[in-house]
Amino acid sequence: MTPEEKIKYLPAGPWIDEPDELYFNHKGIDCKISRILAFENNGRIFGGHCCGYCKIPELMATSECFEQSTTAELGFSVHGGITYSEFAADGCWIGFDCAHSGDIVPSMLETKRRIREELQQKLIGWNLSPFSKVFIDEYRDINFVRKECESLAEQIIDYFKYSSTLPLE
């Protein structure tokens, strides 16, 4: 989407001018970043956050590596953990998203603001400091996601280097 199109659905923020997709290669591992924008039946949009993905080189790919139940067992450490694994037409991909507790999902900003105000009105006189962190979120920008993809790519290389009998270049 162009910035003009995004501003129709999302509040102002750094996500408006960031690219919605970015493809790059890190140490021989293909990586991509995609901004998630899903249109709901009521015409509203959900998302605005980024997800990062790394392609497992064909030589390393085995079906057991990409079953959702086993990706956590591989020990890859990325923001929010591995939340995506799939055999696709262009190869096997694993990835993560930036829509976890503590992450800003642009489409949800207005809803969170409204909930915070309602909570404050209902709990007048209460000490809300224990709850204050519930509403402090951080936007994981495209640079953050790129660094996480690069880290994941290096972990993939290390995993197959030390945990496999596959010949690596």
pLDDT in tens, 131-144: 555 556 889 999 99
Q: Which residues contact 28 (CB under 8 A, 6 or more apart)?
A: 57, 157, 169
Per-domain residue ranges for the chain?
A: 3-163
pLDDT in tens, 45-84: 788 999 999 998 765 555 455 444 455 667 789 999 999 8
Report the alpha-carbon distance of residue 137 to residue 66 in Å, rounded: 31
